[in-house]
Amino acid sequence: MLSTLIKKWRGERPSIFILSGAGLSVESGIPTYRGAGSDAKNDSPSLSKGYMRSIPEKVFEASNRRIRDFDACKPNSAHLAIAQFVRAYRLKADIIHVTQNIDSLCEEAGDTSVFHLHGALNQSLCQKCGATFPRKGFYKIGNQCPKCKAKFTAVRPDVVLFGETPHGLDWILPYLDEVDIFIAVGTSGTVYPAADFVKMATAAGAPIRILVNKEAPIASGFGYPMMDEESHSFNVVRLGNATSVLPMVLKEVGKLIDNIH
């Protein structure tokens, strides 16, 4: 029972932080980084800052492959459950959803709170003027920035390439100090800085830290060895598929919000 872990909110309203990863989109047909048939793993070496400078075609080709894969997928019931939770509780709670995913299935599900830590392939960035704008078509040399009209290799996917800094850390890290309920879903805790978020929230006193994942945290995940379960940062672990477990967890969290004033 979540109510045994908390009696009142730390601020005036509950602060909820949802961190999602590749596992959230698996049941929509997008494999995890390490999963079988993963284009993410094959394409990763191409998605680097170095290639963007020296052989941008490699970044564009890898991005276009992933865009084609993503376009064939639809949001699943876990994406929809987050969107529904945000709609139902945004007036009663501060809810932030930070995803590590570069697909846009959360937006397609109607999630208005989602922020892409690693950017999103449906968003483009002009390297010349810094403008960001919705992607039109596929990436190629010669696409033009709608703002400054730069061409050649100016327009690139607005995703965080290897060697670049994730988005939003300036406001995400302070927000973690205030969190009442931290929910991680479909993430292995092996990719930093996201893997550190639950530790930061724990250190700052977040009373409820829930993990929804197919597998238990692995040895290198979230910085803790699994043999020492007491010390890993989650105090509620619900193992299973995101589509079946997450809707139930969000219902439970919703009830808690309704019952604590």
Q: In what order do the strands lie in the sheet with 155-159?
A: 132-134, 119-126, 155-159
Task: Considering the complex, state which of residue 24 and residue 145 has its C-beta at the smaller distance from ligand NAD.
Answer: 24
**The one among 86, 242, 253, 257 contacting ligand NAD by CB under 6 A:** 242
* Selected range binding ligand NAD among 26-34, 122-130, 134-142, 252-260, rule: CB under 6 A: 26-34
Task: Considering the complex, state which of residue 46 and residue 153 has its C-beta at the smaller distance from ligand NAD.
Answer: 46
DSSP letters of 165-228? Answer: PPTTHHHHHHHHTT-SEEEEES--S-STTHHHHHHHHHHTT-SEEEEEESSPPPTTGGGS-TT-
Bridge partners (DSSP) listed for residue 94: 15
- From 79, 97, 118, 167, active-site residue: 118
Using rule CB under 6 A, residue 198 touches ligand NAD: no
Using rule CB under 6 A, residue 82 touches ligand NAD: no
**The one among 2, 15, 17, 27 contacting ligand NAD by CB under 6 A:** 27
Cis preceding linkage at 14, omega within 30? no
Cβ count near 92 (within 10 Å): 13
Distance of closest approach, residue 175 Cβ to ligand NAD, in angstroms: 19
To 10 degrees, what angle do helices 169-176 and 194-203 make?
30
Burial class (CB in 10 A: 0-12, 13-18, 19+), 187: buried
Residues numbered 114 to 173 that lie near ligand NAD (CB under 6 A) are 118
**The one among 25, 48, 143, 153 contacting ligand NAD by CB under 6 A:** 25
79 is catalytic: no
Q: What residue ranges bind ligand NAD (CB under 6 A)? A: 21-23, 25-27, 30, 32-34, 40, 100-103, 118, 186-188, 190-191, 213-215, 241-242
